[in-house]
Structure 1
Amino acid sequence: MGTTQLETAPEPKYWHLRTVLSEALDSEFAVGEILPNERELAARFGVARATLRQALEQLELEGRLQRRRGVGTTVAPPRVGVAVDPARHTWPGAPGDDWQPQDATATETVPAAVARILETAPGDRVHIVRRSRVTGGQPVAAELLYVPSVLVPGSTAVASLSAPARARAVLNALQERELDGQDRTVELGSARAEDARQLDRLPGAPVLVVTTRYVSAGRPAAVAVATYRADTCRLTFGESDAVAVLAG
Protein backbone atom coordinates (compact mmCIF):
# COMPACT_ATOMS: atom_id res chain seq x y z
CA MET A 1 0.00 0.00 0.00
CA GLY A 2 1.67 3.23 -1.15
CA THR A 3 1.79 6.59 0.54
CA THR A 4 -0.75 9.22 -0.50
CA GLN A 5 -0.37 12.86 0.54
CA LEU A 6 -3.45 15.06 0.65
CA GLU A 7 -3.37 18.16 -1.50
CA THR A 8 -4.31 21.53 -0.07
CA ALA A 9 -8.08 21.86 -0.23
CA PRO A 10 -10.46 24.69 0.73
CA GLU A 11 -12.64 22.29 2.69
CA PRO A 12 -11.66 21.04 6.17
CA LYS A 13 -8.83 18.54 5.98
CA TYR A 14 -10.84 15.82 7.76
CA TRP A 15 -13.66 16.20 5.22
CA HIS A 16 -11.29 15.92 2.29
CA LEU A 17 -9.78 12.86 3.97
CA ARG A 18 -13.27 11.41 4.42
CA THR A 19 -13.79 11.68 0.63
CA VAL A 20 -10.45 10.01 -0.11
CA LEU A 21 -11.15 7.25 2.42
CA SER A 22 -14.62 6.69 0.97
CA GLU A 23 -13.13 6.16 -2.48
CA ALA A 24 -10.59 3.75 -0.99
CA LEU A 25 -13.37 1.77 0.67
CA ASP A 26 -15.06 1.36 -2.72
CA SER A 27 -11.93 0.30 -4.59
CA GLU A 28 -9.67 -1.48 -2.09
CA PHE A 29 -11.77 -3.05 0.66
CA ALA A 30 -14.56 -5.62 0.85
CA VAL A 31 -17.55 -5.60 3.19
CA GLY A 32 -16.48 -6.86 6.60
CA GLU A 33 -12.78 -6.28 5.96
CA ILE A 34 -10.79 -4.79 8.83
CA LEU A 35 -9.07 -1.47 8.14
CA PRO A 36 -5.40 -0.92 9.00
CA ASN A 37 -4.78 0.65 12.40
CA GLU A 38 -4.86 4.41 12.91
CA ARG A 39 -1.07 4.77 12.86
CA GLU A 40 -0.81 3.09 9.45
CA LEU A 41 -3.71 5.07 7.98
CA ALA A 42 -2.40 8.38 9.32
CA ALA A 43 1.02 7.67 7.81
CA ARG A 44 -0.48 6.68 4.47
CA PHE A 45 -2.45 9.89 4.10
CA GLY A 46 0.04 12.18 5.82
CA VAL A 47 -2.37 13.49 8.46
CA ALA A 48 -2.48 13.72 12.22
CA ARG A 49 -4.32 10.93 14.00
CA ALA A 50 -6.85 13.48 15.32
CA THR A 51 -7.76 14.39 11.72
CA LEU A 52 -7.98 10.72 10.81
CA ARG A 53 -10.34 10.02 13.73
CA GLN A 54 -12.65 12.84 12.60
CA ALA A 55 -12.83 11.35 9.11
CA LEU A 56 -13.44 7.82 10.44
CA GLU A 57 -16.16 9.08 12.78
CA GLN A 58 -17.87 10.82 9.84
CA LEU A 59 -17.76 7.64 7.76
CA GLU A 60 -19.18 5.67 10.68
CA LEU A 61 -21.95 8.24 10.99
CA GLU A 62 -22.73 7.73 7.30
CA GLY A 63 -22.88 3.96 7.74
CA ARG A 64 -19.72 3.20 5.73
CA LEU A 65 -17.76 1.88 8.70
CA GLN A 66 -18.47 -0.07 11.88
CA ARG A 67 -16.42 -0.09 15.08
CA ARG A 68 -16.68 -3.51 16.75
CA ARG A 69 -15.48 -4.46 20.21
CA GLY A 70 -12.38 -6.62 20.08
CA VAL A 71 -12.27 -6.48 16.27
CA GLY A 72 -11.54 -2.92 15.16
CA THR A 73 -12.97 -0.81 12.36
CA THR A 74 -14.56 -2.77 9.52
CA VAL A 75 -16.26 -1.91 6.24
CA ALA A 76 -20.02 -1.87 6.83
CA PRO A 77 -22.56 -3.70 4.67
CA PRO A 78 -25.36 -1.71 3.00
CA ARG A 79 -28.00 -0.44 5.42
CA VAL A 80 -31.07 -2.58 6.05
CA GLY A 81 -34.46 -0.95 5.46
CA VAL A 82 -36.49 -0.94 8.69
CA ALA A 83 -40.14 0.12 8.43
CA VAL A 84 -41.56 2.46 11.08
CA ASP A 85 -44.79 3.34 9.28
CA PRO A 86 -48.09 3.67 11.19
CA ALA A 87 -49.69 0.95 9.07
CA ARG A 88 -47.42 -1.65 10.67
CA HIS A 89 -47.37 -0.18 14.14
CA THR A 90 -50.70 0.40 15.82
CA TRP A 91 -50.51 -0.23 19.55
CA PRO A 92 -47.15 -1.68 20.57
CA GLY A 93 -47.45 -5.45 20.78
CA ALA A 94 -50.39 -5.67 18.34
CA PRO A 95 -50.39 -8.44 15.69
CA GLY A 96 -47.68 -7.79 13.12
CA ASP A 97 -45.46 -5.94 15.58
CA ASP A 98 -41.98 -7.49 15.34
CA TRP A 99 -40.60 -6.05 18.59
CA GLN A 100 -39.69 -8.58 21.28
CA PRO A 101 -40.80 -7.74 24.86
CA GLN A 102 -38.08 -8.27 27.46
CA ASP A 103 -39.14 -6.75 30.77
CA ALA A 104 -41.29 -4.13 32.46
CA THR A 105 -40.72 -2.17 35.66
CA ALA A 106 -42.76 0.45 37.50
CA THR A 107 -41.12 3.67 38.65
CA GLU A 108 -41.86 7.24 39.66
CA THR A 109 -38.76 8.50 37.87
CA VAL A 110 -38.88 9.13 34.14
CA PRO A 111 -36.92 11.53 31.92
CA ALA A 112 -38.31 15.06 32.05
CA ALA A 113 -38.90 15.10 28.29
CA VAL A 114 -40.99 11.92 28.51
CA ALA A 115 -42.99 13.27 31.48
CA ARG A 116 -43.85 16.37 29.46
CA ILE A 117 -45.08 14.30 26.50
CA LEU A 118 -47.07 11.96 28.75
CA GLU A 119 -48.41 14.92 30.75
CA THR A 120 -47.70 13.11 34.02
CA ALA A 121 -47.24 14.87 37.37
CA PRO A 122 -44.26 14.38 39.70
CA GLY A 123 -44.73 11.17 41.68
CA ASP A 124 -47.00 9.51 39.10
CA ARG A 125 -45.98 5.88 38.60
CA VAL A 126 -45.12 4.78 35.08
CA HIS A 127 -44.46 1.33 33.64
CA ILE A 128 -41.32 1.11 31.49
CA VAL A 129 -41.38 -1.75 29.00
CA ARG A 130 -38.08 -2.78 27.44
CA ARG A 131 -38.26 -4.24 23.96
CA SER A 132 -35.78 -5.17 21.24
CA ARG A 133 -35.97 -5.50 17.48
CA VAL A 134 -33.94 -7.95 15.42
CA THR A 135 -33.60 -7.98 11.62
CA GLY A 136 -31.64 -10.63 9.75
CA GLY A 137 -30.46 -12.11 13.02
CA GLN A 138 -28.84 -8.83 14.09
CA PRO A 139 -30.09 -6.43 16.80
CA VAL A 140 -31.11 -3.19 15.09
CA ALA A 141 -33.05 -1.32 17.78
CA ALA A 142 -33.80 -1.10 21.49
CA GLU A 143 -36.92 0.56 22.87
CA LEU A 144 -38.20 1.97 26.14
CA LEU A 145 -42.00 2.24 26.20
CA TYR A 146 -43.47 4.44 28.94
CA VAL A 147 -47.08 3.75 30.04
CA PRO A 148 -48.81 5.48 33.00
CA SER A 149 -49.68 2.94 35.69
CA VAL A 150 -53.26 4.26 35.84
CA LEU A 151 -53.82 2.68 32.42
CA VAL A 152 -52.70 -0.77 33.59
CA PRO A 153 -55.31 -2.58 35.73
CA GLY A 154 -53.81 -4.69 38.50
CA SER A 155 -50.42 -2.98 38.44
CA THR A 156 -49.53 -4.54 41.78
CA ALA A 157 -50.18 -8.06 40.48
CA VAL A 158 -48.14 -7.33 37.35
CA ALA A 159 -45.02 -6.89 39.49
CA SER A 160 -45.17 -10.56 40.59
CA LEU A 161 -44.99 -11.92 37.03
CA SER A 162 -41.86 -13.03 35.18
CA ALA A 163 -39.98 -10.40 33.18
CA PRO A 164 -41.48 -11.12 29.71
CA ALA A 165 -44.93 -11.66 31.27
CA ARG A 166 -44.76 -8.23 32.93
CA ALA A 167 -44.01 -6.65 29.58
CA ARG A 168 -46.85 -8.49 27.85
CA ALA A 169 -49.30 -7.53 30.61
CA VAL A 170 -48.60 -3.83 30.08
CA LEU A 171 -48.83 -4.18 26.29
CA ASN A 172 -52.15 -6.07 26.62
CA ALA A 173 -53.54 -3.27 28.80
CA LEU A 174 -52.76 -0.75 26.05
CA GLN A 175 -54.45 -2.88 23.41
CA GLU A 176 -57.70 -2.81 25.42
CA ARG A 177 -57.93 0.92 24.75
CA GLU A 178 -59.08 2.76 21.64
CA LEU A 179 -56.15 4.28 19.75
CA ASP A 180 -56.89 7.80 18.52
CA GLY A 181 -53.61 8.26 16.70
CA GLN A 182 -49.86 8.52 16.95
CA ASP A 183 -47.09 10.89 15.94
CA ARG A 184 -43.34 10.48 15.84
CA THR A 185 -40.09 12.36 15.52
CA VAL A 186 -36.69 11.15 14.32
CA GLU A 187 -33.43 12.60 15.62
CA LEU A 188 -29.76 11.77 15.41
CA GLY A 189 -28.28 10.92 18.81
CA SER A 190 -25.52 9.05 20.64
CA ALA A 191 -25.87 5.58 22.12
CA ARG A 192 -26.23 5.44 25.90
CA ALA A 193 -24.29 2.71 27.70
CA GLU A 194 -27.38 0.47 28.08
CA ASP A 195 -28.40 0.89 24.43
CA ALA A 196 -24.83 0.25 23.30
CA ARG A 197 -24.77 -3.08 25.11
CA GLN A 198 -28.05 -4.21 23.56
CA LEU A 199 -27.07 -3.11 20.07
CA ASP A 200 -23.46 -4.33 20.20
CA ARG A 201 -22.19 -0.79 19.74
CA LEU A 202 -19.70 1.41 21.56
CA PRO A 203 -21.12 4.04 23.96
CA GLY A 204 -21.47 7.33 22.12
CA ALA A 205 -21.85 5.67 18.70
CA PRO A 206 -24.30 7.44 16.35
CA VAL A 207 -27.89 6.22 16.58
CA LEU A 208 -31.29 7.25 15.24
CA VAL A 209 -33.79 7.98 17.99
CA VAL A 210 -37.47 7.58 17.07
CA THR A 211 -39.90 8.99 19.64
CA THR A 212 -43.55 7.97 19.19
CA ARG A 213 -46.49 9.38 21.14
CA TYR A 214 -49.68 7.28 21.29
CA VAL A 215 -52.96 9.07 22.00
CA SER A 216 -56.14 7.55 23.45
CA ALA A 217 -59.31 9.29 24.66
CA GLY A 218 -57.78 12.60 23.69
CA ARG A 219 -54.74 12.22 25.97
CA PRO A 220 -51.23 10.78 25.65
CA ALA A 221 -51.41 7.10 26.60
CA ALA A 222 -47.83 5.97 25.94
CA VAL A 223 -44.47 7.19 24.70
CA ALA A 224 -41.96 4.92 22.94
CA VAL A 225 -38.32 5.94 22.62
CA ALA A 226 -36.65 3.58 20.13
CA THR A 227 -32.91 3.70 19.48
CA TYR A 228 -31.84 2.37 16.06
CA ARG A 229 -28.32 1.62 14.87
CA ALA A 230 -27.44 4.44 12.50
CA ASP A 231 -24.69 2.42 10.84
CA THR A 232 -26.89 -0.46 9.69
CA CYS A 233 -30.44 0.97 9.44
CA ARG A 234 -32.33 3.21 7.11
CA LEU A 235 -35.79 4.02 8.43
CA THR A 236 -38.63 3.76 5.92
CA PHE A 237 -42.10 5.27 6.10
CA GLY A 238 -45.29 4.43 4.22
CA GLU A 239 -46.02 1.33 2.19
CA SER A 240 -42.70 1.29 0.32
CA ASP A 241 -39.11 2.03 1.26
CA ALA A 242 -38.72 4.74 -1.37
CA VAL A 243 -38.31 7.42 1.29
CA ALA A 244 -35.52 6.82 3.78
CA VAL A 245 -34.03 8.76 6.67
CA LEU A 246 -30.27 8.34 6.60
CA ALA A 247 -27.76 9.29 9.28
CA GLY A 248 -25.02 11.62 8.14
Structure 2
Amino acid sequence: MGITQPETVPEPKYWHLKTVLSEALDSEFAVGEILPNERELAARFGVARATLRQALEQLELEGRLQRRRGVGTTVAPPRTVVAVGDGERSWPGGGPEIWQPVDSAEAQPPHAVARALGVPSDDPVHVVRRIRRSHGQPVAAELLYVPAATLPATAALGTLAGAARARAVLRELQRLPLDGQDRSVELGSARADDAKKLDRLPGAPVLLVTTRYFAGGGTAAVSVATYRADTCRLTFGDTGGPGMQLLAG
Protein backbone atom coordinates (compact mmCIF):
# COMPACT_ATOMS: atom_id res chain seq x y z
CA MET A 1 0.00 0.00 0.00
CA GLY A 2 1.43 3.36 -0.98
CA ILE A 3 1.70 6.26 1.46
CA THR A 4 0.31 9.61 0.39
CA GLN A 5 2.79 12.42 0.98
CA PRO A 6 1.35 15.39 2.89
CA GLU A 7 2.30 17.87 0.17
CA THR A 8 0.19 15.96 -2.38
CA VAL A 9 -3.00 16.18 -0.31
CA PRO A 10 -5.21 19.03 -1.56
CA GLU A 11 -6.22 21.64 1.01
CA PRO A 12 -9.80 21.06 2.17
CA LYS A 13 -12.20 23.66 0.82
CA TYR A 14 -13.36 24.68 4.30
CA TRP A 15 -9.75 25.26 5.39
CA HIS A 16 -9.11 27.61 2.48
CA LEU A 17 -12.39 29.37 3.26
CA LYS A 18 -11.30 29.72 6.88
CA THR A 19 -8.19 31.61 5.73
CA VAL A 20 -10.27 33.89 3.51
CA LEU A 21 -12.76 34.54 6.30
CA SER A 22 -9.95 35.28 8.75
CA GLU A 23 -8.58 37.95 6.43
CA ALA A 24 -12.07 39.42 6.07
CA LEU A 25 -12.44 39.58 9.85
CA ASP A 26 -9.21 41.59 10.07
CA SER A 27 -10.10 44.06 7.31
CA GLU A 28 -13.89 44.42 7.33
CA PHE A 29 -15.29 43.71 10.77
CA ALA A 30 -14.93 45.30 14.20
CA VAL A 31 -14.75 43.51 17.55
CA GLY A 32 -18.22 42.48 18.67
CA GLU A 33 -19.74 43.01 15.23
CA ILE A 34 -22.33 40.45 14.17
CA LEU A 35 -21.53 38.51 11.01
CA PRO A 36 -24.09 38.19 8.20
CA ASN A 37 -26.20 35.04 8.31
CA GLU A 38 -24.99 31.78 6.82
CA ARG A 39 -27.01 32.16 3.62
CA GLU A 40 -25.45 35.56 2.86
CA LEU A 41 -21.93 34.41 3.67
CA ALA A 42 -22.25 31.23 1.61
CA ALA A 43 -23.49 33.24 -1.37
CA ARG A 44 -20.73 35.82 -1.01
CA PHE A 45 -17.94 33.23 -1.01
CA GLY A 46 -19.60 30.83 -3.42
CA VAL A 47 -19.56 27.78 -1.13
CA ALA A 48 -22.09 25.34 0.27
CA ARG A 49 -23.46 26.13 3.71
CA ALA A 50 -21.97 22.90 5.07
CA THR A 51 -18.51 24.10 4.00
CA LEU A 52 -19.17 27.49 5.55
CA ARG A 53 -20.21 25.93 8.86
CA GLN A 54 -16.96 23.94 9.01
CA ALA A 55 -14.93 27.10 8.46
CA LEU A 56 -16.91 29.03 11.08
CA GLU A 57 -16.52 26.21 13.61
CA GLN A 58 -12.76 26.19 13.07
CA LEU A 59 -12.56 29.97 13.57
CA GLU A 60 -14.59 29.60 16.75
CA LEU A 61 -12.17 26.94 18.02
CA GLU A 62 -9.29 29.30 17.30
CA GLY A 63 -10.94 32.08 19.29
CA ARG A 64 -11.60 34.37 16.30
CA LEU A 65 -15.38 34.09 16.53
CA GLN A 66 -17.91 33.72 19.32
CA ARG A 67 -21.42 32.30 19.01
CA ARG A 68 -23.85 33.90 21.43
CA ARG A 69 -27.36 32.65 21.98
CA GLY A 70 -29.97 35.09 20.81
CA VAL A 71 -27.32 37.28 19.18
CA GLY A 72 -25.52 35.30 16.49
CA THR A 73 -21.87 34.93 15.50
CA THR A 74 -19.71 37.88 16.52
CA VAL A 75 -16.06 38.84 16.11
CA ALA A 76 -14.10 37.86 19.23
CA PRO A 77 -12.24 40.55 21.21
CA PRO A 78 -8.44 40.88 20.98
CA ARG A 79 -6.24 38.81 23.24
CA THR A 80 -4.83 40.17 26.49
CA VAL A 81 -1.44 39.29 27.99
CA VAL A 82 -1.29 37.21 31.17
CA ALA A 83 2.27 36.71 32.42
CA VAL A 84 3.07 33.23 33.71
CA GLY A 85 6.86 33.44 33.48
CA ASP A 86 9.63 34.50 35.80
CA GLY A 87 8.75 38.18 35.38
CA GLU A 88 5.82 37.95 37.84
CA ARG A 89 6.70 37.52 41.51
CA SER A 90 3.79 38.42 43.76
CA TRP A 91 1.08 36.87 45.88
CA PRO A 92 -2.38 36.43 44.33
CA GLY A 93 -4.23 39.72 44.60
CA GLY A 94 -1.03 41.64 45.23
CA GLY A 95 -0.83 43.30 41.81
CA PRO A 96 -3.40 44.94 39.52
CA GLU A 97 -6.92 43.67 40.25
CA ILE A 98 -7.43 41.54 37.15
CA TRP A 99 -9.05 38.68 39.10
CA GLN A 100 -12.42 39.10 40.79
CA PRO A 101 -12.75 37.35 44.18
CA VAL A 102 -15.91 35.26 44.31
CA ASP A 103 -15.92 33.46 47.66
CA SER A 104 -13.85 31.46 50.13
CA ALA A 105 -14.53 28.48 52.39
CA GLU A 106 -12.72 25.69 54.20
CA ALA A 107 -12.62 22.39 52.31
CA GLN A 108 -10.47 19.32 51.84
CA PRO A 109 -8.00 19.80 48.96
CA PRO A 110 -7.59 17.33 46.07
CA HIS A 111 -4.89 14.71 46.78
CA ALA A 112 -2.46 16.25 44.26
CA VAL A 113 -2.84 19.68 45.86
CA ALA A 114 -2.44 18.24 49.36
CA ARG A 115 0.84 16.60 48.30
CA ALA A 116 2.09 19.88 46.82
CA LEU A 117 1.19 21.71 50.03
CA GLY A 118 2.68 19.01 52.24
CA VAL A 119 -0.51 18.57 54.30
CA PRO A 120 -2.72 15.51 54.94
CA SER A 121 -5.48 15.24 52.36
CA ASP A 122 -8.15 15.16 55.07
CA ASP A 123 -6.99 18.48 56.56
CA PRO A 124 -9.27 21.35 55.51
CA VAL A 125 -7.60 24.35 53.87
CA HIS A 126 -8.80 27.80 52.86
CA VAL A 127 -10.09 27.65 49.26
CA VAL A 128 -10.42 31.02 47.52
CA ARG A 129 -12.37 31.16 44.26
CA ARG A 130 -11.63 33.90 41.75
CA ILE A 131 -12.74 34.64 38.18
CA ARG A 132 -10.99 36.54 35.41
CA ARG A 133 -12.90 38.37 32.68
CA SER A 134 -11.91 39.99 29.41
CA HIS A 135 -14.28 42.36 27.64
CA GLY A 136 -17.00 41.29 30.06
CA GLN A 137 -16.64 37.57 29.35
CA PRO A 138 -15.12 34.92 31.67
CA VAL A 139 -11.79 33.57 30.39
CA ALA A 140 -10.40 31.86 33.50
CA ALA A 141 -11.45 30.49 36.88
CA GLU A 142 -9.03 29.98 39.77
CA LEU A 143 -8.97 27.90 42.94
CA LEU A 144 -6.36 29.05 45.46
CA TYR A 145 -5.56 26.60 48.28
CA VAL A 146 -4.02 28.00 51.49
CA PRO A 147 -3.31 25.77 54.55
CA ALA A 148 -4.49 27.10 57.89
CA ALA A 149 -0.88 26.93 59.15
CA THR A 150 0.10 29.49 56.51
CA LEU A 151 -2.33 32.03 57.96
CA PRO A 152 -2.32 31.56 61.73
CA ALA A 153 -4.12 34.85 62.48
CA THR A 154 -7.39 34.16 60.69
CA ALA A 155 -9.84 33.83 63.57
CA ALA A 156 -11.88 36.74 62.19
CA LEU A 157 -12.59 34.84 58.99
CA GLY A 158 -15.43 33.00 60.70
CA THR A 159 -17.48 36.22 60.69
CA LEU A 160 -17.01 36.81 56.95
CA ALA A 161 -18.51 35.18 53.87
CA GLY A 162 -18.41 35.38 50.09
CA ALA A 163 -16.08 37.82 48.35
CA ALA A 164 -15.31 39.60 51.66
CA ARG A 165 -13.86 36.39 53.11
CA ALA A 166 -11.87 35.77 49.94
CA ARG A 167 -10.33 39.25 50.11
CA ALA A 168 -9.48 38.76 53.78
CA VAL A 169 -7.56 35.54 53.02
CA LEU A 170 -5.67 37.28 50.20
CA ARG A 171 -4.77 40.22 52.47
CA GLU A 172 -3.37 37.89 55.14
CA LEU A 173 -1.38 36.02 52.50
CA GLN A 174 0.16 39.24 51.22
CA ARG A 175 1.57 40.00 54.68
CA LEU A 176 4.02 37.09 54.33
CA PRO A 177 7.46 37.46 52.72
CA LEU A 178 7.30 35.64 49.36
CA ASP A 179 10.38 33.47 48.79
CA GLY A 180 9.50 32.50 45.21
CA GLN A 181 7.07 30.66 42.99
CA ASP A 182 6.95 28.25 40.07
CA ARG A 183 4.36 27.45 37.40
CA SER A 184 3.38 24.62 35.11
CA VAL A 185 0.95 24.56 32.20
CA GLU A 186 -0.89 21.54 30.81
CA LEU A 187 -3.83 20.83 28.53
CA GLY A 188 -6.93 19.44 30.21
CA SER A 189 -10.70 19.07 29.91
CA ALA A 190 -13.21 21.32 31.62
CA ARG A 191 -14.98 19.79 34.59
CA ALA A 192 -18.69 20.47 34.96
CA ASP A 193 -18.25 23.28 37.50
CA ASP A 194 -15.44 24.98 35.54
CA ALA A 195 -17.38 24.66 32.29
CA LYS A 196 -20.35 26.42 33.84
CA LYS A 197 -18.20 29.30 35.12
CA LEU A 198 -16.47 29.73 31.77
CA ASP A 199 -19.57 29.33 29.60
CA ARG A 200 -18.19 26.16 27.97
CA LEU A 201 -19.48 22.62 27.62
CA PRO A 202 -18.12 19.96 30.02
CA GLY A 203 -15.08 18.31 28.46
CA ALA A 204 -14.13 21.39 26.43
CA PRO A 205 -10.34 21.87 26.13
CA VAL A 206 -8.80 24.10 28.80
CA LEU A 207 -5.33 25.12 29.90
CA LEU A 208 -4.50 24.39 33.53
CA VAL A 209 -1.94 26.79 35.02
CA THR A 210 -0.70 25.53 38.41
CA THR A 211 1.33 27.92 40.58
CA ARG A 212 3.13 27.06 43.81
CA TYR A 213 4.00 29.92 46.18
CA PHE A 214 6.91 29.45 48.59
CA ALA A 215 7.35 31.14 51.98
CA GLY A 216 9.01 30.20 55.24
CA GLY A 217 10.93 27.34 53.67
CA GLY A 218 7.88 25.50 52.30
CA THR A 219 4.88 25.70 49.99
CA ALA A 220 2.54 28.33 51.39
CA ALA A 221 -0.21 28.18 48.75
CA VAL A 222 -1.15 26.48 45.48
CA SER A 223 -3.21 28.06 42.72
CA VAL A 224 -4.95 26.08 39.96
CA ALA A 225 -6.25 28.41 37.23
CA THR A 226 -8.38 27.02 34.40
CA TYR A 227 -8.20 29.02 31.16
CA ARG A 228 -10.46 28.61 28.15
CA ALA A 229 -8.23 27.02 25.53
CA ASP A 230 -10.23 28.54 22.68
CA THR A 231 -9.13 32.01 23.74
CA CYS A 232 -5.59 31.26 24.93
CA ARG A 233 -2.21 30.74 23.34
CA LEU A 234 1.28 30.34 24.74
CA THR A 235 4.31 32.34 23.70
CA PHE A 236 7.92 31.97 24.81
CA GLY A 237 10.26 34.93 24.93
CA ASP A 238 11.62 37.87 26.86
CA THR A 239 8.66 40.18 27.45
CA GLY A 240 9.06 41.94 30.75
CA GLY A 241 11.19 39.13 32.10
CA PRO A 242 12.56 35.77 30.98
CA GLY A 243 10.21 32.84 30.72
CA MET A 244 6.77 32.13 29.37
CA GLN A 245 3.63 34.13 28.83
CA LEU A 246 0.03 33.12 28.33
CA LEU A 247 -2.13 35.18 26.00
CA ALA A 248 -5.82 34.99 26.80
CA GLY A 249 -8.55 36.62 24.86
Q: TM-score, normalised by structure 2?
A: 0.72
Match of 1:239 in 2: 240
Corresponding residue of 1:142: 141
SS in 2 for 1:141: strand
Match of 2:3 in 1: none
Residues 1:151 and 1:32: Cα distance change in structure 2 (over 3 Å): same
CA contact (8 A) 2:18 2:59 kept: yes
Q: In angstroms, what is the RMSD of aligned CA positions? A: 3.8
Counterpart check, 1:46 vs 2:44? no
Can you give the 5+ residue segments of structure 2 that lack an aligned partner in the other structure? 1-7
The alpha-carbon distance between structure 1 residues 25 and 179, as it changes in their structure 2 partners (threshold 3 A), is: same
Separation in 2, partners of 1:16, 1:95: 43
- Residue identity opposite 1:94 in structure 2: G
In structure 1, what is the equivalent of residue 104 of structure 2?
104
Superposed, 1:1-248 pairs within 5 Å as 10-12=10-12, 14-37=14-37, 45-46=47-48, 48=50, 52-53=53-54, 55-84=55-84, 87-94=87-94, 96=96, 98-108=98-108, 110-134=109-133, 139-153=138-152, 157-199=156-198, 201-204=199-202, 207-230=206-229, 238-239=239-240, 244-246=245-247
Q: Which amino acid aligns with 1:91?
A: W
In 2, Cα distance between the equivalents of 1:242 and 1:149? 31
The CA deviation at 1:173 is 3.2
* Other structure's SS at 1:185 match: strand
Deviations 1:88-122 (A, max 9, x none): 541123254543322111112x3343334323323
Equivalents in 2 of 1:40, 1:20: separation in Å? 15
Amino acid at match of 2:59: L
TM-score, length-scaled by structure 1: 0.72
Residues 78 and 93 of structure 1, relative CA distance in 2, 3 Å threshold = closer
Count of residue pairs the alignment pairs up: 236
How far off is 1:40 after superposition?
A: 6.6
Q: How far off is 1:244 after superposition?
A: 5.0
- Asked whether the equivalents of residues 86 and 243 of structure 2 are also in contact (C-alpha less than 8 Å), the reply is no
> Shift of the alpha carbon at 1:134?
4.4
Q: Which amino acid aligns with 2:240?
A: E
- Kept in 1: contact 2:80–2:247 (CA 8 A): no
Whole-Å separation in 2 of the counterparts to 1:91 and 1:101? 14
Pick which of 24-33 and 160-169 moved more. 24-33
5+ long unaligned stretches in structure 1: 1-7
Q: 1:234 to 1:81 in 2, by over 3 A?
A: farther
C-alpha separation in 2, matches of 1:84 and 1:52: 35
| More displaced stretch, 221-230 vs 12-21 | 12-21
- Contact 1:213–1:223 under 8 Å retained in 2: yes
C-alpha contact (below 8 Å) 1:79/1:231 kept by paired residues? no
Give, in whole Å, the separation in 2 of the partners of 1:22 and 1:12: 16
